Structure 1
């Protein structure tokens, strides 16, 4: 079978297509014939060697895909051969066939195509876990959402508007602002060029926000932290600020890391605020939580609340180009790679 292999950490060119044996299927696993792959910024960090718990090269990256169940282990009861599914993988997702623990696989709604399915799982689950489970988002909350034009950002904006929260959004370039406004954000600012804090202060009458949902980190974190209102929740789930189109330079990483303020624990108590972080990679081990969350998210999809925006599509043999485009920070919504045969 074909896989996209990382043979050393580095730029997109380190991804190469090669042939390997089809993986075995364990008793609690299913073998999926891949139809579409969802690209995530975590894949960029994995390729650059800047992601937790990744194997040493050579390895097959990829944490999200959709396809058809080809075979199942003898202990699997809730899935059958021929089921259309999406899957969360702890790497090894860039492959024609992937063996995945059944607890990390969900049958997709009939009306959801493979392309949409590959764009749905990570984005919607990240938004749900960060805003609802950790952020306890509710009607009337003021939410500051960074990188709102990306796949997770769009899902987060859709979910927040459904709940009845007031969303203040940032994006990485002016070209992305109209889309985010059309999805219901009250204020939209280009965080890479403009001061996003002042428009938020004005819009909230100086009170600040109840939730900050941040995948950027660095200097964006410093400003966002100061906007947090009493009883506010700051949820950090990424550090995209350290990467640019050339990768992760040591100087850039150091500069962005040093810009993050030291958090003095008593200050959390006196201001009555919370700082939380999460990584979906480790959340994949929580099989019962995944099952419950995906059931909720599929219901929201069926009601039209959550609908992924696919900004770019690439064939499998151009997966290095897909990485290059995602890393350029020019993408809107989700970048999807179609396997094709």
Structure 2
């Protein structure tokens, strides 16, 4: 491929996924402190959907390219950049801008693609694994022997969290929305999986389940029931709100407002009495903390993990179909866009 032009998916403004269109532009000169990558795969995240529909607090104003993670091959290195050379296979993170055939990145946001991994597996690793690790270790302070409840366990973040929790010596208990997903997780070696019932609070009470830590990106009644199931000194770590996922290409603002008004609310005085905590984060703000990100990545390099599971692969041309599958909640593992030649 040549690197004189790049192809990318861009929306003129947030509010409707249908506005996302494929475009082409001529590349400008590479900044001296950056590395140019021919992108071969792009990882999709729920944050992409929330950004495109305008429900994400970090959404850029005006036109923007979605996408938080990618993998590809280095084609050019700036005169002031170090650590990589043309031909290197890398994976990386970006604060938006990932749906593109060519991306320029500071070296701190790039990592070597492990031997034996394909580009789709590389694109499936950075954002979801950093999210799971940050939630488990920095906020959750998970210890060996503790029991952690992980919602949406068959999804990208959930599956990585299940693996990481087990690697830390903890007992992961996953939840999913269907028996098929529970069966699939069982095939991956995870025996403790709950198919969430409509009355999740009663389900937990009936089975007398209690947890040291809960990782939640669903919200609503599921989150409220999870908090109630925490042991003393337990932590609820929140990093998303899938219940707000639009069922169409744009938000139903009335329904979203109703859910917002009915969202769980926590009384800090009651939390003091029961000795339970609620913590929340948005990983995108970590992009500005390069030193902390380097530390997290160094820690993850010491954790033996298999490559992430890529459940569905789409052509880069089929971004809308890939987003629709992710939005449907029917995907298992990571949804990835692939480019044959990085263009």
- Could you say which residue in structure 2 is the equivalent of 1:62? 67
Counterpart CA distance in 2 for 1:84 and 1:179 is 31
Counterpart CA distance in 2 for 1:24 and 1:41 is 32
**Pick from 231, 252, 256: which aligns with 2:255?**
252
TM (norm. structure 2) is 0.91
Matched, 1:79 2:84: yes
Shift of 1:11: 4.3
Q: How does 1:13-24 map to 2 (within 5 A)?
A: 13-24=18-29
Counterpart CA distance in 1 for 2:262 and 2:185 is 27
Matched, 1:212 2:211: no
Counterpart CA distance in 2 for 1:236 and 1:80 is 38
Matched, 1:336 2:326: no
Counterpart CA distance in 2 for 1:129 and 1:248 is 29
- Could you say which residue in structure 1 is the equivalent of 2:3? none
Deviations along 1:313-334, one digit per CA (max 9) or x if unpaired, are 1111111111111111110000
Counterpart CA distance in 1 for 2:57 and 2:29 is 26
Shift of 1:176: 1.0
Distance 1:130 1:325, change over 3 A: same
Q: How does 1:41-56 map to 2 (within 5 A)?
A: 41-56=46-61
TM (norm. structure 1) is 0.92
Shift of 1:185: 4.2
**Does the 8 Å contact 2:151/2:158 carry over to 1?**
yes
**Does the 8 Å contact 1:34/1:97 carry over to 2?**
yes
Shift of 1:49: 1.0
- Could you say which residue in structure 2 is the equivalent of 1:266? 269
- Could you say which residue in structure 2 is the equivalent of 1:195? 199
Q: How many residues align structurally?
A: 335
Counterpart CA distance in 2 for 1:23 and 1:160 is 43
Deviations along 1:48-97, one digit per CA (max 9) or x if unpaired, are 01112322332211111001122222222222222211111111111111
Structure 1 unaligned regions, length at least 5: none
Structure 2 unaligned regions, length at least 5: 1-5
Matched, 1:100 2:70: no
Q: How does 1:101-140 map to 2 (within 5 A)?
A: 101-140=106-145
- Could you say which residue in structure 2 is the equivalent of 1:239? 241
Deviations along 1:122-143, one digit per CA (max 9) or x if unpaired, are 1111111101121111211111
Shift of 1:45: 0.6
- Could you say which residue in structure 2 is the equivalent of 1:323? 323
Matched, 1:287 2:303: no
Counterpart CA distance in 1 for 2:149 and 2:161 is 10
Q: CA RMSD in A?
A: 1.9
- Could you say which residue in structure 1 is the equivalent of 2:281? 278
Counterpart CA distance in 2 for 1:53 and 1:186 is 37
Deviations along 1:259-281, one digit per CA (max 9) or x if unpaired, are 32322222222222221111111
Q: Secondary structure at the match of 2:36?
A: strand
